[in-house]
C-alpha cells in the first residue's frame, strides 16, 4: 500500500511540474507569449464597453475600440475571448441576467460583423452579480453597466 502511495505522490509531483511556467533570469514568468501577443491580450482585456440604463446597443464612442479588438483577434486567431455582460443592481435577477446576455451578444455580433471568427468568442451574463464598483447611485451604476472582455485561451 505504501508503494502505491509513493508512486501516486511521484506522479502528482511530476504532473504539477509540467504545468508550471518557468521563470527567466529577471524573475518574470516565461509563458511562451511574445511581447506583441502579450500587448494584444492586454489591449483586448483593458477596455470595457459601457451601456446606458436598460440599454444594450453599442454606443458610437465604443465602435473604434471594438474595431481595435477585432483587428487583434484576427491577427491572433489562437486568442479566445469571453464577453461578460453585466448590469447595475437595479431590477430582478432574471431581468438583469437577460439584459447582461443582450449586452454581451451586442458586442459578440459587432465583433463578428468586423470579421472576427465566432469560434474565438463566447458569452456569459453575470447580471448584477459581478459589480465593478460597490455602492448605489448613478456614478456607481454607470460603471457596472458594462461588457468585460476576458482572454480564456491563447
Q: Which residue has the cell 518574470?
A: 28
Domains and CATH numbers, the chain: 49-154 (3.30.1330.60)
Spell out the per-residue pLDDT of the chain, length 154, in tens: 555 544 544 445 444 444 444 444 544 455 778 999 999 999 999 999 999 999 999 999 999 999 999 999 999 999 999 999 999 999 999 999 999 999 999 999 999 999 999 999 999 999 999 999 999 999 999 999 999 999 999 9
Q: What pTM value is reported for the model?
A: 0.80
Vertex 96 angle, CA 100 and 113, to 5°: 20
3-class secondary structure, 76: coil
Per-residue confidence (pLDDT) for residue 32, from 0 to 100: 78
Per-residue confidence (pLDDT) for residue 7, from 0 to 100: 53
Q: Which three cell numbers stand for residue 67?
A: 474595431
Amino acid at each position: 500500500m505504501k508503494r502505491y502511495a509513493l508512486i501516486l505522490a511521484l506522479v502528482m509531483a511530476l504532473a504539477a511540474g509540467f504545468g508550471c511556467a518557468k521563470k527567466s533570469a529577471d524573475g518574470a514568468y516565461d509563458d511562451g507569449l511574445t511581447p506583441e501577443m502579450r500587448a494584444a491580450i492586454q489591449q483586448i482585456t483593458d477596455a470595457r464597453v459601457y451601456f446606458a440604463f436598460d440599454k444594450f446597443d453599442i454606443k458610437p464612442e465604443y465602435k473604434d475600440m471594438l474595431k481595435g479588438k477585432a483587428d487583434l483577434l484576427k491577427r491572433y486567431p489562437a486568442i479566445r475571448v469571453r464577453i461578460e455582460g453585466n448590469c447595475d443592481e437595479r431590477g430582478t435577477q432574471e431581468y438583469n441576467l437577460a439584459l447582461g446576455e443582450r449586452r454581451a451578444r451586442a458586442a459578440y455580433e459587432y465583433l463578428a460583423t468586423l470579421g472576427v471568427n465566432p469560434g474565438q468568442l463566447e458569452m456569459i451574463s453575470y447580471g448584477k452579480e459581478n459589480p465593478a464598483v460597490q455602492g448605489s447611485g448613478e456614478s456607481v451604476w454607470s460603471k457596472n453597466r458594462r461588457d468585460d472582455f476576458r482572454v480564456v485561451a491563447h
